[in-house]
Structure 1
């Protein structure tokens, strides 16, 4: 008979495996989306993909209770703003996919955990000590290495990639803020409905007929979106987000592999070093935040985090 400790270890192993599978699925989704936005408007592709996600999200919400109940929020304006930020993030990422190689794009947007630390200071009133400020600075230095002269070409795609990271970081910070008063179902419902309205309201003006082969690829993006979110939700039932979050950095090497295999695009070695600096800095920030939040773990003195 297995002990509770063995059960927790088994669950953690499964949660990590599911997290890595989730990232692999989302990577495939990004690669397919990159193929589509070469021939179709990013706004049309985003709209069609979001239809699938909205249906998936609302099914989850309705399983927990009536939609009216889920939409009852103590912070409705912040919830709507969350939805707007998420939609802006997805739009910017889709536009960046048109011109930026998948590996380099992921190397840029992976700076978002560091931006979360920065934005949490004015929005959440979090205190960040010298240690985490140094880690954030190192991560931003890594981004500058990637964007150095002679590195990733500085064009609109890169600007949209940086905007995507900023919007997503703000979305995460606001999600932390509303989670203090609203349920996860409420946040999911607002994100689904606001995104559905925004993506459809804009995407419909960019609608163009597409061949069945491309429509099949759109269906793949819908299915991978739903599968990825479903796997992520399941993983979070087995282990806390703070434990699983560092494994999200698997998205970088996976994106590089897909970029090489699918598109024949290689990331240059110096940009890879910059990405490694960002990942290292992000892992340091996550480790410090986890030590502060988990009971029984030593907390660093004030001013040394």
Structure 2
């Protein structure tokens, strides 16, 4: 019987890993479509319409578990509102970066966020970080510098936006860890949905412009991939712990490189690829150390 249970658990984890990889593929398609649209439309407009889809999905999910009024009851409302602000700001900066930074290089930059989480956990969560993890973080930043070296990605506003996106998402994860001990996942999801919906709409409405039907169809693709990706992510997390699935997030890098080549005809240069490899290796080392310390919050799975 024990062997049968172990086999079933193994099958569940295998399915969860496949779902995680599919989720990454879905989010990659979302990024590619977003990059097409932000060349002609404001990133704030596209973010607003994307968030309409995500908020609807999130609120439907929460309402199936408990009344929304109960989900809005938080023991840390200030931190929850801050989470919502950080996430929508992260998406804004990512969309701005999409305007000028190729997908492969952009993904190579933003995957430094697990390393930033390690640093931000020190002041916000009071965690102690040993020399081993500090060395891994340092190596990751060396990888980022390799990508942004002279002759690599031009140091312009797109790169600044990409770094801001990674920083804001790392802060979002740390604050999520902070509130996870006092609030339910439903409460956290509700605040992220409502705060992001209000902020994205309040800003995006000022950038409204007429949209061709073909472009509106692409916006619908973004909404569908947002809802579908998050749905797959949540389902995967019911079958395997976040600490098991988290390393597979790094498949987003080769997928972004493939999409960049196929859709936009842009190849990442070999030296930048080496820098990205350094970041990935450093991130996996940090994740390994984090896994030994305890459970990983679900927010780390599926960046977008």
Q: TM-score range by the shorter chain?
A: over 0.9
- Structure 2 counterparts to residues 124-203 of structure 1, below 5 A: 124-203=125-204
Count of equivalent residues: 294
- For residues 4 and 291 of structure 1, the distance between their equivalents in structure 2, rounded to whole angstroms, comes to 24
Unaligned runs of 5+ in 2: 296-304
- For residues 208 and 241 of structure 2, the distance between their equivalents in structure 1, rounded to whole angstroms, comes to 41
- For residues 92 and 57 of structure 2, the distance between their equivalents in structure 1, rounded to whole angstroms, comes to 20
- For residues 276 and 82 of structure 1, the distance between their equivalents in structure 2, rounded to whole angstroms, comes to 30
CA-atom RMSD in angstroms: 0.8
Tell me what 1:96 maps to: 97
Tell me what 1:213 maps to: 214
* 1:116-150 alpha-carbon deviations (Å, 9 max, x no partner): 00000000000000000000000000000000111
Deviation at 1:293, TM superposition (A): 1.8
Tell me what 1:42 maps to: 43
- For residues 105 and 163 of structure 2, the distance between their equivalents in structure 1, rounded to whole angstroms, comes to 12
Structure 1 residue 27 and structure 2 residue 19: aligned? no
Structure 1 residue 248 and structure 2 residue 249: aligned? yes
Deviation at 1:292, TM superposition (A): 2.0
Tell me what 1:118 maps to: 119
* 1:248-302 alpha-carbon deviations (Å, 9 max, x no partner): 00000000000000000111100000000000000000001111227xxxxxxxx
Tell me what 1:297 maps to: none
- Normalising by structure 1, we get a TM-score of 0.96
- For residues 72 and 141 of structure 2, the distance between their equivalents in structure 1, rounded to whole angstroms, comes to 38
- For residues 207 and 292 of structure 1, the distance between their equivalents in structure 2, rounded to whole angstroms, comes to 47
Unaligned runs of 5+ in 1: 295-305
- For residues 249 and 31 of structure 1, the distance between their equivalents in structure 2, rounded to whole angstroms, comes to 17
- For residues 262 and 283 of structure 2, the distance between their equivalents in structure 1, rounded to whole angstroms, comes to 27
- Structure 2 counterparts to residues 250-269 of structure 1, below 5 A: 250-269=251-270
Tell me what 2:231 maps to: 230
